[in-house]
Amino acid sequence: MRLGRHAVATDPGRKRRQNEDAFVVRPPLFAIADGMGGARAGEIASALAAGALDESGTRSGGEERVIELVQEANRRVHERASNDPATSGMGTTMTVALVEPNGDITFGHVGDSRAYVLRGDALEQLTDDHSLVAELVRRGELSASDAEVHPQRSVITRALGTDPDVDVDTFTVHPEPGDIYLLCSDGLSDMVAGDAIEEVLLRNRGDLDGTAKALVRAANRGGGDDNITAVLFEIVADDAPAPPEPDAETREYQTTAPDEEDTLHPEDGVPAISEIPSAVDTMVVSASAVGAALADQEPEAPQAGIGRRLLALTVIVALIALIVVLVWWGLAR
Ligand code: MN
């Protein structure tokens, strides 16, 4: 198996002037970074992270190599944020895919950008979001459908640049011929439901460039609240015909001309996630803040909350009683 065609589309969306998403399309290395921070700091963070990857090259080496790449990107963003007050607190997500010489694909992931695979006729999400709402869903305290419209869904719990080291999720996928991989920012996944992304991929199967553009259109149609980026690549059988040479400089690739943004093709008539309140700016929170936010959720599950508190109180009372008895016993002797 080997890498087939690839494509990328990026667009600021309908509500933002700046595009703070960045991407790396340097086969066999692909990545996406969604920056956050005041003024233009988000743009700097994602560009620094993508630039670090671009420079580090495409040498293979499995999950260790991918961790190395993401850690280096993290160091660069963190260093700049520490030395340049204008960018203090900036950060970025990063989702990386490296196609190894044996065809396996190694992924590295931090934040709420996503990797998906279309295998056969089914789309599967490969990454777990490092976000407050995803955390609540994993704990069974929030339904997946409520998470899609949660006002705090842009709050991420892990990002590049906020600490000297970053905890990177890694995993390896053994591909099948015909697999199509998608890396995207939340500007796509927040605006277009998974089954609608699947529909777009299936409908445009023969045309990756067309797929990337259709995904951006679908996100704009769903509201375009945030910057939208989609990176696509396919895995084909070794004996598949060679792909045509990609057009010029992929990095400079601009998708939707402003006047094209609203031009929806009839075949793009896919259901988008509706009634999404306008997204809050992406921000990262510390583990303790997550704890506080999680505590705020407790009224939804009062039984569990009171139960835990009662248990904690009982343990404390028992410990105090034990100490009193021991002290009394010690004095009595
Ligand atoms: Mn975003």
- DSSP for 269-307, please give it: ------SPPPPPPPEE--HHHHHHHHHHTGGGSHHHHHH
- Residue 156 CA to ligand 1 center (angstroms) comes to 11
- Residue 34 CA to ligand 1 center (angstroms) comes to 5
* pLDDT value, residue 287: 53
Number of domains the chain contains: 2
| 187 and 327, same domain (yes or no) | no
| 25 and 147, same domain (yes or no) | yes
Name, in order, each residue with C-beta under 8 angstroms of 63's C-beta and a sequence gap of 6 or more.
106, 108, 170, 171, 172
- Residue 227 CA to ligand 1 center (angstroms) comes to 6
- Residue 239 CA to ligand 1 center (angstroms) comes to 38
| 30 and 139, same domain (yes or no) | yes
| 149 and 226, same domain (yes or no) | yes
- Residue 122 CA to ligand 1 center (angstroms) comes to 25
- Residue 160 CA to ligand 1 center (angstroms) comes to 14
Name, in order, each residue with C-beta under 8 angstroms of 192's C-beta and a sequence gap of 6 or more.
200, 215, 218, 219, 222, 270, 272, 273
- Residue 215 CA to ligand 1 center (angstroms) comes to 15
- Residue 111 CA to ligand 1 center (angstroms) comes to 10
| 204 and 77, same domain (yes or no) | yes
- Residue 151 CA to ligand 1 center (angstroms) comes to 14
- Residue 228 CA to ligand 1 center (angstroms) comes to 7
Name, in order, each residue with C-beta under 8 angstroms of 28's C-beta and a sequence gap of 6 or more.
3, 58, 60, 98, 99, 100
pLDDT along the chain (333 residues), means of 10: 95 95 96 91 96 90 95 97 94 97 95 97 97 94 90 92 96 97 97 96 94 98 96 93 58 42 46 45 61 51 54 80 81 72
- Residue 327 CA to ligand 1 center (angstroms) comes to 59
- Residue 93 CA to ligand 1 center (angstroms) comes to 9
| 12 and 109, same domain (yes or no) | yes
The Cβ of residue 2 has, within 10 Å, a number of other Cβ atoms equal to 18
- Residue 19 CA to ligand 1 center (angstroms) comes to 9
- Residue 280 CA to ligand 1 center (angstroms) comes to 10
* Secondary structure letter of residue 193 according to DSSP: -
Q: Cα angle at 265 between 262 and 266, to 5 degrees?
A: 125
| 170 and 223, same domain (yes or no) | yes
User: Domain end: 263, 281, 315, which one?
Assistant: 263
- Residue 139 CA to ligand 1 center (angstroms) comes to 24
Residue 224 lies in a domain: yes
Q: Which amino acid is at 194?
A: G
Q: What is the domain-level CATH number for residue 27?
A: 3.60.40.10
Name, in order, each residue with C-beta under 8 angstroms of 72's C-beta and a sequence gap of 6 or more.
52, 56
| 192 and 309, same domain (yes or no) | no
- Residue 242 CA to ligand 1 center (angstroms) comes to 34
- Residue 203 CA to ligand 1 center (angstroms) comes to 25
* pLDDT value, residue 308: 64
**HSE (side-chain half, CA atoms, 13 Å) at 326:** 6
- Residue 167 CA to ligand 1 center (angstroms) comes to 20
Strand partners, 34: 21
Give me 184's structure tokens.
């995207």
| 209 and 304, same domain (yes or no) | no
| 167 and 56, same domain (yes or no) | yes
Of 228, 200, 199, residue with least CA distance to 214: 200
Residue 150 lies in a domain: yes
| 192 and 129, same domain (yes or no) | yes
* pLDDT value, residue 273: 54
- Residue 104 CA to ligand 1 center (angstroms) comes to 28
d(Cα 11, Cα 21) in Å, to the nearest integer?
Answer: 9
Full residue range of the structural domain in which residue 312 is found? 299-332
Residue 290 lies in a domain: no
- Residue 317 CA to ligand 1 center (angstroms) comes to 48
- Residue 303 CA to ligand 1 center (angstroms) comes to 36
- Residue 46 CA to ligand 1 center (angstroms) comes to 11
* pLDDT value, residue 247: 53
- Residue 86 CA to ligand 1 center (angstroms) comes to 20
- Residue 76 CA to ligand 1 center (angstroms) comes to 20
The Cβ of residue 30 has, within 10 Å, a number of other Cβ atoms equal to 28
Residue 269 lies in a domain: no
| 208 and 304, same domain (yes or no) | no
